[in-house]
């Protein structure tokens, strides 16, 4: 993991024993109903969660050389990431210090500086203000040294770029422990992007997180996954800041033609073994980043609150360059199967959001299949503790 080096290929490493920073978490209780339904909590969530945690911004391939940039959001806040002349990654709030104009959009290439399209204020890639048209008209009020871009933290995790608006945030590398070793064999930095997509879902972001990080609903709600995955060996490991899932594929062929064809044709990407061919893996980094690890592709999913009962989803998929026709067919089958699962989940979480409106409802006990739900609830309660009641803080 690096905040400065240009993208390089990564040699797969064996999984390491979890260090103290990634020790197993203890199972707690689910969140109180109000945390999914009360608009009054939205500002606190933005300030105490999304502006203080590491948020996925994009893939390192968007930043190949000096002046390359990408833009993203940390919760409700726009950010930009740029590679400077020394090859280091830098991140800033995506706003001109003059009148609040957004500086950049999408991704692309700057020349030697970042120039605001509104009044032409110009900043070096290191964030310093270097150009103001008609500067004499401002008189002594113009202090260029004090009007540089507002900085943010930035780190690269195995080819994925993360930002954090908190200048005092713990480095991401310290939070995720052995996760880089687990991801290394997938060589994410060397993969190429394909099939990006954005959409929305009609539920609170925490309900969507709860649904993603538990497999207890698979036998009832996802018949396709149940045919494909060996549910008895669907395993979850909860650590302090991330969760890891292992989902082996069944040895018995599925009765569904698409699922059966996928299992027959899939071959592991470069760096993966035959053992990796038979397992789907998932990593979830608190609070809202999912990394899906398949033998044929890697995908990321980040969901951003858009009100109390709606989120905006940002998807990206990555595959080995120069994938052949067979591999591309397998990837198409994969995405078709997972699109069906996503549609099923959208319906599920919308139904949950409706049910959470019920007065008097309190969540029942959690099973061992829902350990990650309890882990997530504890993380949220920790971050929102100053604005929660005693009952909501303790989960009891």
Residue 258 neighbours by CB under 8 Å, 6+ apart: 333, 336, 337
| Delimiting residues of CATH 2.102.10.10 domain(s) in the chain | 54-168
Give the helix/strand (H/E) hosting 197. Answer: strand 192-201
Q: Would you state the pLDDT for residue 13?
A: 36
Burial of 393 (0-12, 13-18, 19+ CB in 10 A): middle
Q: Would you state the pLDDT for residue 333?
A: 98
Give how far Cα 132 sits from Cα of 93, 102, 112, 120, 154, Å: 19, 16, 16, 7, 27
Burial of 43 (0-12, 13-18, 19+ CB in 10 A): exposed
CA distance 63 to 108: 8
DSSP 264-292: HH--PPTT--TTGGGEEEEEEETTTEEEE
Given the candidates 3.30.70.1280, 3.40.630.10, 2.40.128.640, 2.102.10.10, the CATH classification of the domain at 54-168 is: 2.102.10.10
Residue 35 three-state SS = helix
CA distance 361 to 352: 12
Q: In terms of residues, how long is the chain?
A: 396
CA distance 28 to 303: 24
CA distance 224 to 221: 9
For the chain, state the CA radius of gyration: 22
CA distance 156 to 183: 13
Residue from 284, 298, 280 nearest 229 by CA: 280
Residue 169 neighbours by CB under 8 Å, 6+ apart: 52, 53, 54, 153
Preceding omega of 224 cis (within 30 degrees of 0):
no
Superfamily of domain 23-50+177-396: Naphthalene 1,2-dioxygenase Alpha Subunit; Chain A, domain 1 (3.90.380.10)
CA distance 315 to 297: 13
CA distance 217 to 342: 13
* Spans of the chain, pLDDT less than 50: 1-25
Question: Please, are residues 59 and 159 in contact by the beta-carbon 8 Å criterion?
Answer: yes
Ramachandran area for residue 197 (φ above 0: left; ψ -120 to 50: alpha; else beta): beta
How many CB atoms neighbour CB 275 within 10 A?
10
Q: Would you state the pLDDT for residue 396?
A: 63
Give the helix/strand (H/E) hosting 105. Answer: none
Q: Would you state the pLDDT for residue 345?
A: 97
């Amino acid at each position: 993991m690096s905040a400065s080096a240009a993208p390089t290929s990564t040699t797969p490493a064996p999984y390491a024993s979890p260090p103290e920073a990634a020790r197993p978490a203890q199972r707690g209780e689910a969140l109180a109903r109000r945390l999914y339904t009360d608009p009054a909590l939205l500002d606190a969530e933005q300030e105490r969660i999304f502006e203080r945690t590491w948020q996925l911004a994009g893939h390192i391939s968007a930043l190949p050389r000096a002046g390359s940039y990408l833009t993203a959001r940390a919760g409700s806040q726009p950010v930009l990431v740029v590679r400077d002349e020394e090859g280091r990654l830098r991140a800033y709030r995506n706003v001109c210090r003059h009148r609040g104009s957004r500086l950049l959009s999408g991704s692309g290439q700057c020349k030697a500086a970042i120039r605001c399209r509104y009044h032409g204020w110009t900043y070096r890639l290191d964030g310093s203000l270097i150009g103001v048209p008609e500067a004499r008209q401002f008189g002594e009020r113009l202090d260029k040294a004090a009007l540089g871009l507002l900085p943010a933290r930035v780190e690269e995790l195995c080819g994925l770029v993360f930002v954090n608006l908190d200048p005092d945030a713990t480095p991401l590398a310290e939070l995720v422990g052995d996760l880089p070793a687990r991801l290394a064999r997938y060589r994410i930095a060397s993969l190429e992007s394909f099939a990006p997509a954005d959409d929305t879902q009609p539920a609170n972001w925490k309900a969507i997180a709860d649904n993603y990080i538990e497999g207890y609903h698979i036998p009832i709600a996802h018949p396709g996954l149940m045919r494909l995955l060996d549910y008895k060996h669907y395993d979850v490991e909860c650590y302090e800041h991330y969760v890891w899932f292992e989902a082996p594929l069944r040895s018995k062929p599925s009765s569904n033609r698409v699922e059966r064809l996928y299992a027959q044709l899939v071959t592991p990407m470069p760096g993966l073994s035959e053992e990796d061919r038979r397992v789907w893996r998932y990593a979830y980094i608190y609070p809202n980043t999912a990394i899906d690890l398949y033998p044929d592709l890697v995908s990321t999913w980040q969901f951003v609150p858009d009100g109390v009962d709606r989120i905006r989803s940002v998807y990206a998929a990555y595959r080995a360059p120069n994938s052949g026709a067979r591999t591309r067919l397998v990837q198409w089958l994969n995405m078709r199967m997972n699109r069906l699962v996503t549609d099923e989940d959208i319906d599920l979480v919308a139904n949950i959001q409706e049910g959470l409106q019920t007065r008097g409802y309190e969540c029942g006990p959690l099973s061992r299949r829902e350990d990650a739900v309890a882990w997530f609830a504890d993380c949220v309660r920790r971050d929102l503790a100053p604005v929660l009641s005693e009952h909501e803080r303790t989960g009891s």
